[in-house]
Amino acid sequence: GPPREFAGVWIYFSDKYTSETPSPRRMRTCRDLLLGLAVLHVVSAETQSRPPHIVLVVADDMGWNDISWNNEKMYTPNLEALARDGVILEQHYVLPTCTPTRAALLTGRYPYKLGIQGHGIRPLEPYGLPLGMTTLAEELKRRDYTTHAFGKWHLGYCDVKLTPTRRGFDSFRGYYLGAQDYFTHMTPGGRTSPEIEGYDYRNYESVDESAKGIYSTTLITKNVLETIEEKSKQNGPVFLYVAFQAVHSPLQVPDDYRTKCSTYTKKRLKICEMAAAMDEAVGRIVDKLKEVQMWNNSIFVFISDVRH
């Protein structure tokens, strides 16, 4: 049913991946949908004449079975509450790896047209999201939005021109690569690329060492809440791109969340706890938007990038 509490639209995109190629008619991109919703909101609310704030939350590697309304063993009450008041899209498809999904999400293009339809960008690979492609952030800036990215980028960093603040985002707090330790924010080099092991957390384009020791989900949420507080004091619409690290490997979670789930084997238990931590973070973001009177004029979207 239609949302009861706010003027915008909350949408959950099911992330079911299929080996069958969806038809172009069915496989619409989130970029085009968000722009369309923003335009429709303004057209249908001429008396307000205020473009909606847009909050796009991306979970990492969260599967169809990792959310409580599909699996009662999971603990995601905040997301479930949003789903009850929103719209669940059951025929929205993502790609099987991180970079292609994120590239499609932020450009509105099929990944094969971008040349990045395979695996996620690896640390030493000298490419990224093509510079000739307009991003969702750039398009929204043309519509007078301030644009802010948080968390995982994974769309290239070999040239500074490929990084978030050069691709339409006014600010960036997060990491460039595809995976890292949740607490130390160190990127593991492993046996194949030991030379790339290092610290990866940024404030704009500079290394942010103040993030050390803070759990990734907690850290990203802190950064988002600070930005919401700051932007609530200014006029104009805001776009928040919140790309959580959870529930991507390594499977790590603070002790505080180890009472939320109790019916799983060790690995599944960790994923459940990580999802619970992210769910709490989503609840805090929603509460903050309500506190600063932004929620009633917001479009809130939650998706996952990959997983079966």
Is the predicted pLDDT of residue 303 greater than 90, yes or no? yes
pLDDT at res. 36 = 57
Angle at 243 between CA 94 and CA 188, to 5 degrees: 95
pLDDT at res. 144 = 96
The question of whether 98 is a catalytic residue gets the answer yes
Which positions ≥6 away from 253 have C-beta within 8 Å? 182, 215, 270, 273, 274, 277
Residue 88 belongs to some domain of the structure: yes
Residue 236 belongs to some domain of the structure: yes
Residue 5 belongs to some domain of the structure: no
Domain of 265 in residue numbering reads as 10-304
The question of whether 248 is a catalytic residue gets the answer no
State both tokens at 171.
């600010």
The CA-atom distances, in angstroms, between 72 and each of 66, 68, 75, 80, 306 are 9, 5, 8, 11, 21
pLDDT at res. 190 = 58
Residue 2 belongs to some domain of the structure: no
Identify which of 121, 94, 118, 113 has the alpha carbon closest to the alpha carbon of residue 105: 94
Residue 147 belongs to some domain of the structure: yes
For residues 240 and 289, the answer to whether their CB atoms sit within 8 Å is no
Q: What would the mean pLDDT of 112-118 be, rounded to a whole number?
A: 87
Class of residue 137 by CB neighbours under 10 A (exposed 0-12, middle 13-18, buried 19+): buried
Q: What is the pLDDT of residues 119-138, one digit of tens each?
A: 888 888 889 999 999 999 99
Q: Find the catalytic residue in 98, 185, 248, 272.
A: 98
**169: Cα within 13 Å, side-chain hemisphere:** 23
Residue 215 belongs to some domain of the structure: yes
Q: What would the mean pLDDT of 192-218 be, rounded to a whole number?
A: 88
- Residue 157 pLDDT class (50, 70, 90 cuts): very high
Is the predicted pLDDT of residue 199 greater than 60, yes or no? yes
Helices (H), 45-115: 77-84, 98-107, 111-114
Q: What would the mean pLDDT of 145-152 be, rounded to a whole number?
A: 98
Q: What is the pLDDT of residues 165-192, one digit of tens each?
A: 999 999 999 999 999 999 999 987 655 5
Residues 278, 106: Cα–Cα separation, whole Å: 22
pLDDT at res. 3 = 34
Q: What is the pLDDT of residues 61-72, one digit of tens each?
A: 998 899 999 998
Dihedral in degrees, nearest 10, Cα atoms 78, 80, 83, 89: 120
One-letter amino acid identity for 308?
Answer: H
Number of domains the chain is built from:
1
Q: What would the mean pLDDT of 224-253 be, rounded to a whole number?
A: 96
Percent of the chain with pLDDT over 90: 60
Residue 166 belongs to some domain of the structure: yes
Indicate the average pLDDT of the chain.
84
pLDDT at res. 308 = 53
Is the predicted pLDDT of residue 195 greater than 90, yes or no? no
Residues 15, 29: Cα–Cα separation, whole Å: 13
pLDDT at res. 297 = 95
Is the predicted pLDDT of residue 161 greater than 80, yes or no? yes
One-letter amino acid identity for 123?
Answer: P
**11: Cα within 13 Å, side-chain hemisphere:** 19
Identify which of 69, 3, 67 has the alpha carbon closest to the alpha carbon of residue 37: 3
pLDDT at res. 42 = 46
- Residue 10 pLDDT class (50, 70, 90 cuts): very low
Q: What would the mean pLDDT of 229-238 be, rounded to a whole number?
A: 95
**222: Cα within 13 Å, side-chain hemisphere:** 10
Pick the more confident residue, 239 or 9: 239
Residues 1, 10: Cα–Cα separation, whole Å: 11
Identify the CATH number of the domain in which residue 123 sits: 3.40.720.10
Residue 275 belongs to some domain of the structure: yes
> 16-40 burial string, b = 16+ CB within 10 Å, else e?
beeeeeeeeeeebbbbebbbebbee
- Residue 264 pLDDT class (50, 70, 90 cuts): confident
Considering only 3-17, 106-120, 140-154, which range has the smallest mean pLDDT? 3-17
Residues 165, 291: Cα–Cα separation, whole Å: 28
State both tokens at 274.
């990580």
Q: At what angle do helices 216-231 and 266-291 cross, to 10 degrees?
A: 10
Q: Find the catalytic residue in 53, 92, 148, 154.
A: 154
> 185-199 burial string, b = 16+ CB within 10 Å, else e?
bebbeeeeeeeeeeb
**What's 64's DSSP letter?**
G
